[in-house]
Structure 1
C-alpha cells in the first residue's frame, strides 16, 4: 500500500517517461554527441534541473534510457529445444546489439551508476530458457554469459566487426560441452 497522496505510476513516472521519450526521439533525429540536457528538457517539457536532480548528468540519463530499452519486450523464442532456444536468443542479441543503436546502448550502459544491470537482464533471459528444460543437462547462466554473451559484447564494442554467426555457434557448442 502506498502512503496518502502517492500513486504508483503517478507524476514521477509520467515525468520519467516524458524524459525517456524525449531522449529516444532526439537520438533518432541527431547524432548522440550533439544531444544536450537542455534539449531533452525542452522536448520533455521539464526544466534541466529536473534532469540533473534525478540523474545527475547526461551520461547517467543515457545509461538509464539504454537500460530501459534493453529490457526485453517478450520471452525468448521457444524453438522446442534447449540449444535451439539459446542459439535463437544469441543470434537475435548479436543482431540487435551489433547495430549502431545497439552499440550506442551498450556504450551508454557502461556509464550506468548501477553496475551489473546488463548482466542481470541477460541472465534473466537465459534463465528463462534454461527453466523451460528442467530435466535436461545444461550449462549454468554464468557459463553461458562467460562463453557466449561476453565475447559477443566484447567484439561489438572493441572490434571493427562483430562476432560472426558461425563463431557464435562454436561458442554455444563450447558452452554446452561439459
Structure 2
C-alpha cells in the first residue's frame, strides 16, 4: 500500500465490536501507511476498564469524557498535519460524530471530513470465539458477556459512507482492501 499523502491531517478509524480485529488491523494499516497507531482502549480511565472487567456495560456518562479525550487528541494530530489510525469501537452514530469534530473544518452532515471510518464486519460466532480466546489468554479486559450489549449498540447509517470490510479475511487482504479504497477515495475527491 502506498503511504497516505503527508501534510494534511487525517484520521482513519478502524471500528467495530470487541473481537472484530480493530487493534490488529489498525496496527498493520498504520505500519503500511507509515503513520501513527492509537488504540482508544488506552484512553479509557481505569474506572471504565474495571467496569468492563466486571461485565458491566459502560454508561453514556462513562463514554462521553472518553470520547471527548479521544477527540481532543485527534484534533491536535489533525492540526499538526499528522496521519493517524485509531482503533475504536465507535458503535453509535453520535459517537462517530464526536470523533468527526476533531476535524476543525468539519461541519456536521458533510462528508468531506478528515476523519474516515472503516467497519470490520465479523459474524457473531466468530466474534464470540475471538473474545473467549483473548480472555482465556489474558490479552484483553473485555469479557464475552459484554459482546451482546456492543452488538445492540452498533448503528450503521449508510448515509455516513462508512467503508465495510469482511474481517474474516486474512489481515493482509483486509489492509490492502482498506488502503485501496482510501487511495481511490482520495483520488476521486481531487477531481
Q: Identify the TM-score tier after normalising by the shorter chain.
A: 0.3 to 0.5
| Structure of greater relative contact order (alpha carbons < 8 Å, 6+ residues apart) | 2
TM-score after normalising by structure 2: 0.34
More strand by share: 2
Give the number of the structure whose residues are more often helix, by fraction.
Answer: 1
Structure index of larger Rg: 1
With the length of structure 1 as denominator, give the TM-score of the two structures: 0.36
